[in-house]
Amino acid sequence: MSTLAGKHIVLGLSGGIAAFKSAELCRALVKAGVTVQVVMTEAAEHFMTAVTMQALSGRPVYTSQWDPREANNMAHINLSRDADAIVVAPASADFLSKLLHGGADELLSLMCLARPIDKVPLIVAPAMNREMWSNPATQRNVAQLKADGIHVLDVGQGDQACGETGDGRMLESDEILEELEAFFTPKALSGKSVLVTAGPTYEAIDPVRGITNLSSGKMGFAIARAARMAGAQVTLVAGPVHLPSPRGVLRFNVRSAREMLDAVVQQADAADVFIATAAVADWRPTHSADQKIKKDGSGQTPELSFVENPDILATIAQSLRGASGELFCVGFAAESHDLLQHATAKRLRKGVPLLVGNIGPATFGQDDNALLLVDEKGARELPHASKQALAVQLITDIASRLTR
């Protein structure tokens, strides 16, 4: 279940072509279990109809401070008092300026000004032309809005409706949704640095063939996202996967186990928590051919020999910081059978305080999973759920262990 479930959000639209993304955002919020009250400026109605937003939100849309539906004629008061947040997306350059100066000449800005500051946070997603965004006046406005306690989201970069390319695009709806989920997530890992490995490794046999496994990296990426939502500074070392980076996460891409070890060693000194989610190849070919190994029709197979790859988890766990407990290490075990037995043995062998086990063939490439948490006291199951939901539960568990 999303951390947004049960929230009530006022979604404000100011004028801008990015308003079409607000329709997608509204739909995503409702799907996440949010009740959405849409408020639009007059300028916004030139880009998106109130009918569309009403259909998506399932609630009447407000566009005027003189709306007769409010018995006391105080929509700017009534609509804000029950909100968990006011989210303005898109927030135009003009609207940002209006917020800065306390403008209140229409319902949305009036509502933002009249909201209880200590109870109803204001979150804005800027959207404008690249020159407008980089203009010193806009940057001064943004800096002051942040100083005033308004949560200003980043802008995206890319093609703009005007035909130019650069910064200033409103974030995509899924990116804003992720930012909102992070905003409302308790910051149990605030001030902590978390290092995560994810995905498979690839060990080359020749330029076109190699040894790998079916790990998709989804569990590790979900954990990185959950850790960032919990307030941590997150570094993700990813094997060869095709997944977008979680927002706000520093990512390093690697291929082989040795490359992953090198990247992890370089980042481990700055980490407070190391979560080794990656499915690292146990062996690699002794030699990798410079050219493709071709069959010659004789029926003879090429002779391949293998050497053991370095043990990344054990290396870090048995380092000075890992062994002392200064770096809290969490291992993963992807097994095909006898999960509890193998996970228990692996935890002791690796020397880690927490080992997370799962059945690899049942979860590789899937969006859901079930986890078994094994520590010195025994085992606890996290029942079958989405990988993101499990990641949130795991991060909560890890955060509680850091405070014991």
| 125 contacts 87 by C-beta, under 8 angstroms | yes
φ, ψ for residue 227, nearest 5 deg: -65, -40
Query: What are the tokens at 31?
Result: 């799907």
* Phi-psi map region of 15: left, alpha, beta (phi>0 left; psi -120 to 50 alpha): beta
CB atoms within 10 A of CB 145: 20
Q: How far is the C-alpha of 190 from the C-alpha of 187, rounded, in Å?
A: 5
Among the listed residues 215, 210, 178, the one whose alpha carbon sits nearest the alpha carbon of residue 197: 215
Among the listed residues 129, 136, 127, the one whose alpha carbon sits nearest the alpha carbon of residue 164: 129
Catalytic residue among 26, 112, 162, 329: 162
Judging by DSSP bridges, how do beta strands 193-198 and 250-253 pair with one another?
A: unpaired
Sign of torsion over alpha carbons 83, 85, 88, 94: positive
Tell how far CA 18 is from the center of its chain. Answer: 22
Q: What angle do CA 22, 25, 26 make, to 5 degrees?
A: 85
Among the listed residues 369, 376, 361, 367, the one whose alpha carbon sits nearest the alpha carbon of residue 393: 369
For the question of residue 162 being annotated catalytic, the response is yes
Q: What angle do CA 190, 191, 195 make, to 5 degrees?
A: 95
CB atoms within 10 A of CB 300: 8
CB atoms within 10 A of CB 362: 13
Q: Residue 109 gets which letter from DSSP?
A: H
Q: Residue 187 gets which letter from DSSP?
A: -
Among the listed residues 52, 158, 30, 40, the one whose alpha carbon sits nearest the alpha carbon of residue 89: 40
H or E stretch covering 315: helix 312-317
Residues known to be catalytic: 162
